[in-house]
Structure formats: C-alpha cells, structure tokens
A = this chain, B = another copy of it.
Amino acid sequence: MAGKTRANRSPSRPTMVQVAELAEVSIFTVSAVVNGTSPVSDVLRARVEAAIRQSGYRPSALARSLRTGQTHTVGLSIGDITNPFYTDVVARVQRDLHAAGYAVMLCCNDRDVTLQDEQIALMRARQVDGLIVSPTGEDARLKKALADLGAPVVLIDRVLPGFDCDAVVLDNRAAMGEAVAHLTALGHRRIGLVAGIPESFTGRERLAGYRDALARAGLPQDPDLVQVGSFRSAEALAAAERLMALAEPPTALIAANNLSAIGTMKGLSGLGLTCPGDVSLVAIDDFPWADVFEPKLTAVAQPVEAFGAEAARMLVERMQGRVPGRGRTIVLRGTLHARSSSRATRVT
C-alpha cells in the first residue's frame, strides 16, 4: 500500500487554455480534439493528446453547459423514494439515463406541495434538460412551474389533468378489476377497499376500477366498504380497523398499494385477526419477498422496470427533439400473482 491517499482540494485544475499553450496550438484545436467536433491533423492531435495527458486536463461540464445551453442533467421528482415502487422505478430511470449520457438529480418532496414547487424551481435554476416527475397534487401552481421549466416533462404513475406531456401510467382500472375478479372467483361478496388518496389520479382510478368490477360481478356498492388509507401505512392501518369494525365486516380486503398492504396487515394483527384465516387480502403492488414470508401476499404486480424504461426513453426522445407534438401516454398492465393471502370463503 503506497501510503495514505489524502482527500484535498486540487489547486485549480488545468483549463483548455493551458492545454493549448502546452501543445502550442489554439484553444479551438483543443476543443476540436476533445469533442471530435472538427477534423484535426494527426500532428496537432498528437500534441494535444499528449498535453491533455500530461496536464490531467478534464473539461468543465459547467462551462460547456453555459455555452451550449444543455446540461445533460435530468431532474427526477417523486414523493417518497422509500416506497418500493418508486425505488425500483428510480433505479431503472437512473440506469437508462446514465447509459444515454445524462446525470440525474433526485428530489423527494415527501408529498409536500410547497417543497415540490421549491425543488422544481431548484432544478429549473440548474437548467435540467428534462424532468421526470410523479406529481404530488394537481395544483395550478405545479402545472405552471412545469410549463415554466422550459424543458420536456414526463409524468410517471400519475397523470396531471390539464397539463399536456408524455406520461406512463398503470392501467389502474384493469389492475383493480383483476384483484376484484380474483376475490369474487373465490366466493367473496363483501370486499373492502383500503383506498388511496382521493385527490390523486391513481387513487381515483383504482377506486373507479373497484366500483366497476363490483358492478360487473353484480355486487352492491356499499360506501362503508371503502375506507381511505391514503397510500400510507399508518392511515391504511386505521382504514383496515374501520373496515373490520363494520357490523357486517368484509371477508376480503384490497389494499390500494404496497404501503397500504403493510398497514392493513398491521391493522389486522392488531385486532387479533389472521390473514387469510379471518380475511383475505389482495394488494396492488408486489414485493420481492412476497413469495417467502407468510401470508404470501396475493398482489397485482406493476411492471416497475417498464415504468422506468419507458419514462427514460420518452424523455430522451423529447430532449433530443426527435418527437415533436402532443404528449403521449403509455398505459402498462399489471399482473396478478395469486398467493396464500387470499383463499376461498368457507360458505360459498
């Protein structure tokens, strides 16, 4: 081991001018070989390359961006990275965008609209070339902030009514339809919903999907069977408690997302109820460990990789100006994984 490497501020890194002087060429020539933007004779090229190696020159992305107006940086704004759905999406977006030559700036607003506006302003100031956002709320201020960005925007998971741009969303109604159909096929007739945020696209769509599916199955709509869990564990816990406290409690529950499923399970165990013994449970969103721990959660898995890949692809297309015109919406299908948390009712 060659002694300790010490972290220290480098004493002003070499600039293009210095490389030019070293190589005894003009700064233009240096730029031309660095960027391959203009043909350079072999002699000069060799001199420049030697000078670069010798000086340890690295171009300043900052200066380049100021000149070109492009930062090759993309903003990624979500509510909560801790939600496994977003974690997976972020992972894929980061990977694909890096491969396409873009860095990603991550912002989590924890569902705080003000923080969200602030973060978008921050990304605007830093002149991101594009933005992928899973919007919190549907405020006019948000839409204005996005429009003012002056860069293409791709929405993930949620659509923003009244704002035209690319988006990639789940077929929420179909996903909910599968969940309900799975349970009715098992004989369930009272199916409770631990619902999402009513003010969000996903919350509304999943609720609508639930209602549609009940209707298709010829089941009545009982408002008591829908309790808002706000896509959060603690709220879902309370919602599950309310559902199971009904005079005629449901025999099955649907959790509107991953965190709701955990909260619902907590609520049940707090009440001393077992799943699927006392109630069946189906969730929208899958977990990597759902196959392993008990009850093995029946879930409608979202194609998280596709979410990230499609969002990154569409954004890159827009940033490169390859796709003019109005926003495109990609609708992805979920996949039901039937496991042990849902079972047939005893009396059919």
Write the residues of chain A forming the contact surface with B, with a CB cutoff of 8 angstroms. 1-10, 13, 56, 58-63, 65-66, 71, 73, 76, 80-82, 87-88, 90-91, 94-95, 98, 103-108, 110, 119, 121-127, 140, 143-144, 146-153, 161-165, 233, 262, 265-266, 269, 287-289, 291-295, 327
Can you report 30 residue pairs joining A to B where beta carbons are below 8 Å apart?
A2-B162, A3-B162, A4-B162, A7-B146, A7-B147, A7-B153, A8-B147, A10-B149, A58-B124, A60-B66, A60-B125, A61-B127, A76-B106, A82-B87, A82-B88, A82-B91, A94-B106, A95-B108, A98-B107, A103-B122, A103-B123, A103-B126, A233-B288, A262-B288, A266-B292, A287-B289, A289-B289, A289-B293, A293-B293, A293-B294
Q: Which residue of B lies closest to A88 (CB)?
A: B82
Complex Cα–Cα for A209 and B119 (A): 43
Residues of B close to A13: CB separation below 8 A:
150
Q: How far is the CA of A148 from the CA of B90 in the complex (A)?
A: 28
Which one of B8, B106, B152, B292 lies within 8 Å of A265 (CB-CB)? B292
B-chain residues with CB within 8 Å of residue A9 when the two chains form the complex: 150-151
Contact B126 A4 (CB under 8 A): no
Distance, CA A226 to CA B151, complexed state (A):
53
* With known contacts A87-B82, A108-B95, A125-B59, A164–B265 Cβ distance under 8 A: no
Complex alpha-carbon distance, A298 and B128, angstroms: 44
In the complex, the 5 A-B pairs of residues with the closest C-beta atoms, listed nearest first? A10-B150, A293-B293, A294-B294, A61-B125, A106-B106
Give the residues in chain B near A71, CB-CB below 8 Å.
Answer: 62
A3 to B98, CA, bound (A): 36
A66-B62, A126-B73, A163-B4 as given contacts; A104 in contact with B106, CB under 8 Å = yes
A60–B162 CB distance below 8 A: no
Which residue on B lies nearest to A150, using beta carbons?
B10
Cα distance A262–B290 in the bound complex, in angstroms: 10
How many Å lie between the Cα of A13 and that of B59 in the bound state?
Answer: 26
> Chain B residues with Cβ under 8 A from A58's Cβ?
121, 124-125
Known pairs A10-B148, A150-B10; A127 contacts B60 (CB<8 A): yes
Q: Kindly provide the distance from the CB of A276 to the nearest chain B CB, expressed in whole angstroms.
A: 12
User: What is the chain B residue whose CB lies nearest that of A64?
Assistant: B125
With A87-B82, A106-B106 as contacts: A5 and B127 at CB distance below 8 Å:
no
Chain B neighbourhood of A8, CB < 8 A: 147, 150
Instruction: Say yes or no: B66 contacts A63, CB within 8 Å.
Output: yes
Complex: how many Å from CA A164 to CA B5? 6
Chain B: CB-nearest residue to A119 = B98
Are B94 and A107 within 8 A (Cβ)? yes
Write the nearest CB–CB distance from A123 to chain B, whole angstroms: 8
